Amino acid sequence: VLVHVEVQAQEKKDFPNRTFIYNYRIYDLFQRPPVSLAVLADDNPKWRPCVYSHKMWGCRTGFRFRMVKILDYGKNLEELSRSDNVFAVAVAAHLRTMETRKDTRKRFHHKIELTKELYRRGLDKTDIINLYRFIDWIMRLPEELENDYHREIIRFEEERKMQYVTTAE
């Protein structure tokens, strides 16, 4: 099975066309039909593209692809925190980032909790470091809060004798 995943964080009018093009290019390259999945990470609950079509002179091409809207998981943050799926952490981080766009103090607290949750889940070191990097990349903080965040995580690691993530990482 070939899987083609498109992650889109902003509304783009040509997104269905681009998804169609990548789908047929994959088919052309491997001579096997891929499954296309759109992960929509934008903030418009109404934007839900999942079809591309065009027609001319009696010819028609139609393409339907699967779509997942991250905003739809906003009601399930509690469930995401209990999930064993590592993607649940990434989805929760994205939702919390969107939620705290204008409140860095709240983002700081969410970032700490999400990072601590990585350890509580009992993930292996590689998964913790990779998810930590993702959370750190998407949940940007002002320098002062970023320093406070790193101090808090180092303290948390020392309490549990787990030196997985360092400030340098």
pLDDT confidence of residue 32: 95
Phi-psi domain of 57 (left: phi exceeds 0; alpha: psi -120 through 50; beta: other): left
Q: Could you say which DSSP state residue 155 is in?
A: H
User: What CA–CA distance (Å, rounded) separates 131 from 146?
Assistant: 17
Mean pLDDT of 30-46: 96
User: What CA–CA distance (Å, rounded) separates 140 from 120?
Assistant: 22
User: What CA–CA distance (Å, rounded) separates 109 from 105?
Assistant: 7
44-48, 56-60, 61-65, 152-156: segment of lowest average pLDDT? 152-156
pLDDT of 148 higher than 80: yes
pLDDT confidence of residue 14: 96
| Whole-structure pTM value | 0.79
Percent of the chain exceeding pLDDT 70 equals 95
User: What CA–CA distance (Å, rounded) separates 139 from 145?
Assistant: 11
pLDDT confidence of residue 168: 43
